[in-house]
């Protein structure tokens, strides 16, 4: 008996093949065209959706394993209509269980098991063991056939898989496996490197010796839950540090000593945090829940709901809280009770990065970096757009080449807002009008920060650049951290900019000339979130959940 499966909506979308790519008689893709589908959140820390129109697909995932290079990206392809043969390995190392033809594509009759995602299953069980899951069918609402939610299925180890999908706007008739390899992007440095290449991943630059002009002395360290596939950043109110982890744990630490003041539990998985202000500590969940806790004692205050997974820290100021879901919707809530003041929705491009643009609150406007290369200012009163500026213009012949999203933190001063986009530019615009001040070509995955003289941005290969705030002239470029998967740059202690890397190293760079000033070690796990700059130091949170304070000497 087939299993009946109900799946939660994860943070990505499935786009079906367009009508013209489907054979009207068979309702299957023409010319063996493949469709790229979305991967589960755990497989794509950066990419929200990889949805193709047939020609955007690439060869099979077996290229990577045949050449003994890291299985870096998830790959997706047409699967057999039915199979009862169970996976040998239970479903995760699927590439190694497939037989491939001369073109590295799965031979007929092969299968690609699904990864075990954080989805929900409602199924019949035989005793305490799962039976073979033959004939699984995603529950896709009829209203969403063309742009349907992509679901992650949880199924028992050893079970086979067979699924229905919509072709064009037709009914769910023909079988297509929604295949996602639950792999990490540890070997990937660019999005283009995820597809169809047997070249080894770029090797991170080796750290070199330098003459230190400062030092990073660790003052204290603490522990919170690990980040998992998400990115968590600590926050401070000037007296304490607040941090959260994927497991739902929240902690308040004394800023001076690191002493734990309270530890709370959200009771569910968290996907973003933390935001601090107005006496609140704010976090987000994969289900789109915005949770507010009392900063004094950690008690729950209120919760609100967005329609998409929350992946960037909420922001709070001037009596309001702003948060965004991964579905293009931004909402503003009253800080006192969580009542929604307004919501602003925008259509998303066919392909977007999973990582999103951060939010920044001003006195009268909320600033947001958006998919498609747009930076927008929204009225705090009603959410109406005040202006919209182009940080990047999508270009290229394929949807993948046309990804141009404003992502990462924004930087504000009294006159301008600065942002950076993937496959686009780093730019600053007037805060009141949105008119461009300056722009320079740059592909960035980590946003920007600024100090009194410069705007700092890292490119998508790990070089760090400084631009003059007034005119955008390139002051210097530090390229000795190439492909070390740097965190967002943070201006700190007047004379430095700091970045973290995939090995948990903190690099302190002199803003005058881009030279290394100091280096400090954490716990060896990646620094993904945004570090907190202090007057004479910084606080960092690692992927393993380490929270540490460093003093610059």
Q: Is the dihedral of CA 297, 298, 300, 302 positive or negative?
A: positive
Polymer length in residues for the chain: 553
- Give the DSSP letter of residue 97: G
Reported as a single tens digit per residue, the pLDDT across 500-553 is 999 999 999 999 999 999 999 999 999 999 999 999 999 999 999 999 999 999
Going by C-alpha positions, the residue among 40, 45, 142, 134 that lies closest to residue 85 is: 134
Does the structure show a pLDDT above 70 at 128? no
**3-state SS class at 150:** coil
Does the structure show a pLDDT above 60 at 359? yes
Q: What is the residue whose two structure tokens read 């995602």?
A: 117
Across the range 386-390, mean pLDDT stands at: 97
Given a contact cutoff of 8 angstroms between Cβ atoms, the answer to whether 139 and 165 are in contact is no
Determine if the pTM surpasses 0.75: no
Q: Which residues are CB-neighbours of 250 under 8 A, at least 6 positions away?
A: 224, 242, 243, 244, 263, 264, 265, 266, 273, 274, 281, 283, 293, 298
Q: 3-state secondary structure string, 389-429?
A: EECCCCCCCCCCCCCCCECECCEECCCEEEEEECCEEEEEE
The CA distance from 522 to 531, in Å, is 12
Report H helices in 88-170. Answer: none
Domains of the chain: 1-202 (no CATH), 204-226+445-553 (2.130.10.10), 232-354 (2.40.128.630)
Across the range 395-409, mean pLDDT stands at: 91
Reported as a single tens digit per residue, the pLDDT across 460-505 is 999 999 999 999 999 999 999 999 999 999 999 999 999 999 999 9
Lowest mean pLDDT among 135-144, 336-345, 362-371, 393-402: 135-144
The CA distance from 551 to 395, in Å, is 44
CA atoms within 13 A on the CB side of 497: 28
CB atoms within 10 A of CB 90: 15
Instruction: Check residue 398 and give its pLDDT.
Output: 85
Helix (H) or strand (E) holding 218: strand 216-223
Reported as a single tens digit per residue, the pLDDT across 411-428 is 999 999 999 999 999 999
Instruction: Check residue 472 and give its pLDDT.
Output: 97
């Amino acid at each position: 008996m087939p299993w009946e499966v109900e799946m939660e909506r994860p943070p990505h979308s499935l786009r079906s093949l367009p009508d013209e790519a489907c054979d009207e008689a068979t309702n299957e893709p023409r010319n063996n065209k493949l469709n790229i589908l979305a991967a589960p959140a755990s497989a794509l820390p950066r990419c929200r959706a990889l949805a193709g129109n047939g020609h955007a697909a690439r060869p099979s995932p077996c290229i990577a394993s045949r050449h003994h290079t890291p299985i870096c990206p998830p790959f997706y392809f047409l699967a057999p209509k039915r199979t009862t043969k169970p996976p040998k390995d239970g479903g995760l190392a699927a590439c190694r269980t497939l037989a491939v033809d001369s073109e590295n594509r799965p031979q007929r009759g092969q299968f690609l098991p699904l990864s075990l995602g954080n989805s929900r299953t409602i199924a019949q069980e035989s005793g305490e063991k799962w039976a073979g899951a033959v004939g699984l069918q995603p529950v896709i609402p009829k209203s969403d056939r063309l742009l349907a939610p992509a679901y992650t299925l949880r199924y028992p180890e050893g079970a086979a898989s067979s699924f229905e999908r919509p072709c064009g706007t037709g009914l769910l008739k023909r079988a297509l496996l929604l295949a996602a390899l639950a792999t990490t992007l540890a070997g990937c440095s660019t999005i283009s490197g995820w597809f169809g290449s047997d070249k080894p991943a770029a090797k991170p630059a080796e750290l070199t010796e330098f003459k230190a002009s400062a030092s990073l002395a660790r003052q204290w360290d603490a522990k919170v839950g690990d980040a998992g596939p998400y990115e968590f950043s600590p926050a401070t109110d000037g007296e304490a540090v607040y941090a959260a982890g994927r497991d739902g744990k929240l902690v308040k630490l004394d800023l001076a000593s690191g002493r734990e003041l309270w530890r709370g539990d959200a009771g569910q998985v968290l996907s973003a945090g933390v935001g601090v202000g107005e006496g609140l500590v704010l976090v987000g969940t994969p289900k789109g829940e915005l949770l507010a806790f009392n900063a004094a004692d950690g008690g729950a205050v209120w919760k609100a709901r967005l329609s998409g997974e929350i992946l960037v820290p909420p922001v709070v100021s001037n009596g309001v809280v702003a948060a965004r879901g991964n579905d293009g919707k931004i909402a503003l809530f009253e800080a006192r009770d969580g009542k929604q003041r307004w919501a602003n929705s925008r259509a998303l491009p066919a392909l977007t990065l999973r990582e999103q643009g951060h939010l920044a609150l001003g006195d009268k406007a909320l600033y947001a970096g958006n998919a498609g290369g747009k930076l927008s200012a929204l009225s705090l009163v009603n959410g109406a757009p005040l202006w919209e500026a182009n940080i990047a213009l999508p270009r290229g012949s394929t949807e993948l080449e046309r990804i141009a999203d404003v992502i990462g933190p924004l930087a504000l001063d009294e006159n301008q807002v600065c942002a950076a986009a993937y496959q686009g530019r780093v730019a600053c615009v007037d805060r009141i009008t949105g008119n461009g001040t300056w722009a320079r070509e740059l592909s960035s995955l980590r946003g920007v920060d600024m100090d009194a003289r410069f705007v700092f941005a890292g490119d998508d290969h790990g070089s760090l650049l400084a631009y003059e705030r007034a005119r955008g002239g390139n002051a210097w470029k530090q390229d000795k951290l190439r492909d070390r998967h740097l965190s967002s740059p943070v201006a700190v202690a007047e004379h430095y900019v700091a970045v973290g890397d995939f090995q948990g190293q903190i690099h302190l760079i002199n803003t005058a000339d881009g030279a290394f000033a100091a280096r400090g070690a954490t716990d060896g796990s990646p620094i993904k979130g945004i570090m907190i700059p202090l007057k004479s130091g910084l606080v960092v949170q690692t992927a393993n959940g380490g929270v540490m304070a460093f003093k610059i000497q």
